[in-house]
Amino acid sequence: MIEIERKFLIKSDAYKKECPAGIRIQQGFLSTDPLRTVRIRLKGDKGFITVKGKSNISGTSRFEWEREIPKNEAEQLLKLCLPGMIDKIRYEVKTGNFVFEVDEFLGENKGLVIAEIELSSEEEDFPRPDWLGEEVTGQTKYYNSQLSKLPFGKW
């Protein structure tokens, strides 16, 4: 139940050649406390609830628990969320044996594009496609929970 991931900004939209269709994600937060973030998500026609713990010092790993819930329950829970919904299109781009989740943000975060890769260890090596830019792992302003409070468009 430990998530290990690294985050990167994107230099170009070349990733869309490898995955031209994305899926819409809408999410809100019941809690944005860094010690216990609680997220509600609609991903296409599925609902999810996720609890995340505090990140380690490098920002690469933290506790994560997620369960699929009925779509109608997720829709109702989204109504209880704190102000600042996240709206984005996710592209899942396979690179070798890895998958980069590339999020193209909409709404108040429009213009921000972030790629995340989940790893099996913090030291695991992975391919770096040409479209991958600056690493922002551990920079809390790029966490969705923080983007819901201070959107990219207001930086």
Q: Where are the domains of the chain?
A: 2-154
DSSP secondary structure of 109-144: GTT-EEEEEE-SSTT------TTEEEE-TT-GGGSH
* The pLDDT value given to residue 102: 98
pLDDT in tens, 6-17: 999 999 999 999
pLDDT in tens, 112-128: 999 999 999 999 999 99
pLDDT in tens, 121-154: 999 999 999 999 999 999 999 999 999 999 999 9
pLDDT in tens, 39-86: 999 999 999 999 999 999 999 999 999 999 999 999 999 999 999 999
> Please, where are the H alpha helices in the chain?
15-18, 71-78, 144-147
CB atoms within 10 A of CB 30: 16
pLDDT band at 89 (very low <50, low <70, confident <90, very high): very high
**Neighbouring residues of 68: CB distance < 8 A, sequence distance ≥ 6:** 46, 47, 48
Look at the domain 2-154 and name its fold: Hypothetical Protein Pfu-838710-001 (2.40.320)
